[in-house]
Structure 1
Amino acid sequence: MIPYLFVVAAVIAVIGIISAYKKAHNAILEGEGDTAKIQSKFFLHVAIIEALPIILIIIGFVLAEGQSFTMEDIYIPLAIVIGLFIFNAFIVFSQISQVKHLRQSKQIEEHTLNAARGISFIAIALANAVPIISLVFMIMITS
């Protein structure tokens, strides 16, 4: 049961950060203000979203102390977390291809393309941080 705490933390982080990313990405594409303000708001949302997953990871690590888990115990949680990596990459890269298409059809400016690309790559890194931590901790608790 404890490995699933890490999975829940990863799911909350990925879904929350992807939703914040999509909101910020759309705001950049629609030109709803300064890019720096949109990015600052995005980082603030990410910080708030990551609070609960970090707490869940700490609780899971504390509860796992003194217990013994085998690799068979974490196969399914590992598969779910790896699936989150794929989900994250699919969502972000589909948004990037959408932006490229808009740029080729001259619907957005070059600076908008660069801002959207920048926040996309930042979102990949931020959304993958908690799943990576979850993977490491799940491997650490196995004996």
Structure 2
Amino acid sequence: MRYLECPDTYEPHAGDGPLVFLAGGITGCPDWQREAVRGLSTTDWVVANPRRQNFPIGDPSAAETQIRWEHRHLTRADLVLFWFPASDAQVTTQPIALYELGAAAAGGRRLVVGAAPGYPRQTDVRLQLWLARPDVEVQSTLRATLAQARHAL
């Protein structure tokens, strides 16, 4: 696996596997991306993670850089893996991730989606995807979502 984190830009290398984008909650969510990266470490994929270890919160241009990076890599990805986690400390609906899911689903992107049972909009994610993309089965655990990604690629 080759790991890519915002703001580093994906440049294809010979022998790279598919580009997989880790989409889903960042703000107010557990760091599920770290677990996903560990779970995908034995693949030959390029894994693009929008969650930065050190987000420059004092930089006024950081938000625009982040949004542009995410858009670029979401649209270039061979597979977009969405995970909507629950959190005991702070439950958040992750509205931007929901927007990105809607755009990806409507655009026909190759998707793998999971939503934890404690995610407050889990029913919405399941029903909206069933209506728009019945080919996408929403998983209930991150482990099952990662397994579905392996199967999809």
Does TM, normalized by the shorter one, top 0.5? Answer: no
Higher helix fraction: Structure 1 or Structure 2?
1
Higher strand fraction: Structure 1 or Structure 2?
2
Greater Rg over alpha carbons, structure: 1
Q: Which has the higher contact order (CA 8 A, sep 6+)?
A: 1
**TM-score, scaled to structure 2:** 0.27
**TM-score, scaled to structure 1:** 0.29
